Structure 1
Amino acid sequence: MSDRYGTDYPEDEPIIGGGYAPPAPPPLTPPGQPQYAGTGAGYEDDGEDALDSYEDDEYDEDDYEDDEDSYGYYDEYEDSAPARQPMFYVFVALAALVGGIVVFLLFSLVNNGNGGSPSGGGDTKFAVSIDSPPKDKRVEIGKMEEVIVQASATEAITRFELFVGDKLTDTVTVSETPADNKYRAVMKFTLTARGNYDLMVRVTASSGATKESSKVRVIAIEPVGERPQTIKGKVVADTTLRSGPSETYPESGTLKAGTEVTILGKNKSVDWLLIDSAQGQRWAKRTAIDPLDSLELVPVRDVTPTPAPTQEATSTSIPSPSASASTSPTANPNAPDFVPTNAVLIEGGAKLRVTVQNVSTNAYNGPLVIGVSGDIASSELAIDAKLAGNGGTATVDFEVAPPITTTGKKAVVSVDPKNAVKEAREDNNGATFVLLPPEESPVIVIQTPTVQPSAISITVQNTGGALAATTVTVRVKLGSSVTLEEKSIALAKNQSATFTVARPQGTGEATAEVVINGQVVASAQFTISP
């Protein structure tokens, strides 16, 4: 502030740049007129002194105006309040911009993620499932396999895509909507190397919305081929080796858990395996060995010619309507001894076949109750047992619902659970078996025979599980005349073999039959024309 009018201002004089605006200056008095002191800040309260001061100093209007400008009272006071407003609006604008970006991103995320549709299919509802193949199915390398898929949606489906792993393998385009809105497609794939593969099917709707099925794992294996093969296995529990596939054969050594063995073959019921051991070819219980590949690859082997069982099994399982047994009707003075020896899944895991053996030297004929529990619904069946001494066996089948198709399940088998039959031992009537997924059995069919002037060509095909190398006989019957051809073959699933049979004498309705191990496994009628 200028000290033109003196320097002895009060101590509370406001300071330029302070936190409040000073009051307006007093009005100017024209020259020649008396001037009175006011009460505003910066002026003396004594009017008389102020008048003297005015008279002493020459009035200069320009100087006063300059001093007024130097104070800057009006400009500073009027501009100080709006100085903060532009920054406030900048913050508001930035907040609105950020909010808009967040809303746009959220909207885009919801739109793109809804229903798997990149183009507005967010409201489409799907149902997709792979009906075939089942989980963990073994498929042969180089063989074309089919995938059967079913789907439905709230809008038309236009395409099916099959992925093996992350590779697109097959595509089916849909042009018509089924009446029941259930779309079905058959897709194909072929595997080229051993290993585990995940199958997945993706369906696309007309709007572009997509849906993926759950993954189904399949296992690729080497084809069975024409020759018997061997596979490796690992011993999972200490076990006794025998000279034949039964407890009645002599012991021929032991195997320790953790030992790796070579599996050469199996018996027909696949409850014993033929292995290559230090003692030569010996038989071991199937439950004691974990195969490192599919048992479909090894052939069914005949029993080694070394000591055979004392007496062959002669029992036949006859289910009874009630699971009860009376006091032992055996006529022998000495008691039998029942032991459960095997439990295997058959018919795709829908049945459990239990084998019971009489290890006593005494035969038993009469009712016998067998029960199962564990991972299978508890049930009991009574059979009319005919168990010879020294290893006579009986088998009984239990229904399994739902079917068991995976590993890790167990069956607890008990024989004569209520001790209705007096036995030589009562402490060996129960056993626990680890169940393995059922192996598909061979299914042999006959293609239409071709009649030639001197021979008949007959093609047989295996539509089921692998048929290991075995002797197969194809014969033609016409009245009392029979002609045949016999040879050893091995058939993988869907493989076929052709037999040439001499044409029998005569004409008319003839029958072609396929015989394996003495049993007719397939037959077909056809006509031999003149």
Structure 2
Amino acid sequence: MTNSENQYPPDDYVIGESYPPPPPGTEPEASSAVPGLIGSSPEDRWGRNAPAGLVGDEDYEDDGEYYEDDEYYDDQAIGDPYYYDDDVPARQPAFYIFIAVAVVLGGLFVFLLFNLFRNDNDGAPAIVDDDPAFHIRIDNPQDNDLIQVDEDVEVIIQANSNEQIVSIDLLVGGEVRDSARFTDVPADGVYAPTFILNFEETGNYDLVARATSESGATKESAPVRVRVVTELVDEQPASITGEVISTVNARIGPGEEFPTERTYDAGDRVVLVGRSAGESEWVLLDSGLWIRRAAVRLDDSLALLPVRRPTPTPAPSSTPTPQPSETATPEGGLPDLSPSNAALADEGATLRVTIRNQSTADYQGPLVVSAVGLPEGDLQEAFLVNIPAGGNQVVEFDLPRANTDGGTVQISVDVGNNVEESNEDNNDATFLLSPSVDPPVFTIAATVNGATIDVTVTNVGGPLTDASVSVSVSLADSTNSSGTADSLSLQTGQSRSFKVSTPIGTGQATVTVFVNGEAFGSGSVQIGDPATATPEPTTEN
């Protein structure tokens, strides 16, 4: 077919067709012919790429395919040298360096962003107050204790953590007064440093213990306020009073292993005449029975009560059966002494014997006690005792080796009949000994979160098995309680968290843990602004 209306030649030629000559001025010059290039051959009349032997050849057939070279050739001036670069330009090394730097900077940015969210604004590791495995408390002195100026006072601290604790600081009035460093983890996991304080001026002082773990995390105990006075007047009064805040069992000795004689209910008024040594977890009533300190709201300072030690110092003697120079005779009648209980303690290393005075007369003096039938051998020792009328006293034997199997033992008091009694027929009794199991010991951590208080109870003593556990928080006359966790078991080191409604008011609230309805441990938590509830130390006139 022929395009008769267009004076210019077509882009594609059809073999066998005739075409008009090119317009004047479009013929290639012969002098520009270069072998193998466009326009170099007379047969290539239109300046197109027509290889010799194809255009005008009867055997040539155009396959109709499009080649990228067509456009390239069309753009070339007729007679220009043919050139085509098949090589792809190589990227410069700086490009790869840029990519590597971008990757490194991106990773660094992600790392810094992660740490920014994980740490607080000061750059120190964020502390979670309700962490069940990081707790610290001051066991001695107690809150509101009286301390005499220029007298040494022993400060006992306990702490545990899921990380190794490297230091524990004692702060007085917000300033570090003493520190303890640790390089090893104690066998029981409980860090228990003891510090000695001496106050040179009277006033009120807040004591705080602060633990630091190996990661740099810190935890502070609830503050304990002590009052330093010039002189302790009537340091050991006959008694102080208190009110029972929850149902509690009264026992014949300061420990869970002693039998229960009666039960006191919340609201009962009691008279206290003594306290146990050390942490003072038990208080002695005027009835001769012991109850847990945590179950009583005291009307005065616990420090005013004398310490009643359950393990008296043995009477110095060169023989196991001393003979007093004269028979001890109580005033106002005769005592009636008898063994009321025997139990293994301290993982079977100690035999603990309870002696009861069933008379209306007190007894103070030497008393010989024997234990017969133990696998470790028979024991006999003289003790100095002070047993009030209707009261009890505990004496302890150190066994030659630990008894882990139990057994039976016959206990005899007043061996040799050196004490004149109203009844001499009840000095012997036989008891079944159960294998020693250390009782649970709780640490308590409480944090106020608005309308609720989060309380974490951690068992650092013996195992607790299948018990009902609850928590209460008391402030002034207001007491709020948590729900009860029934059939709860806590092995050593395990924790349980409770939520309690925050009592209305401001000040130091008492947190009490109850096991099977009985107060088993206590702590404290600050409610409200401590600046208004806890004034700065003031000097007394």
| TM-score category (smaller protein) | 0.3 to 0.5
Which is greater in Rg?
1
Q: Report the TM-score when normalising by structure 1.
A: 0.35
Point out the structure with the larger helix share: 1
Q: Report the TM-score when normalising by structure 2.
A: 0.34
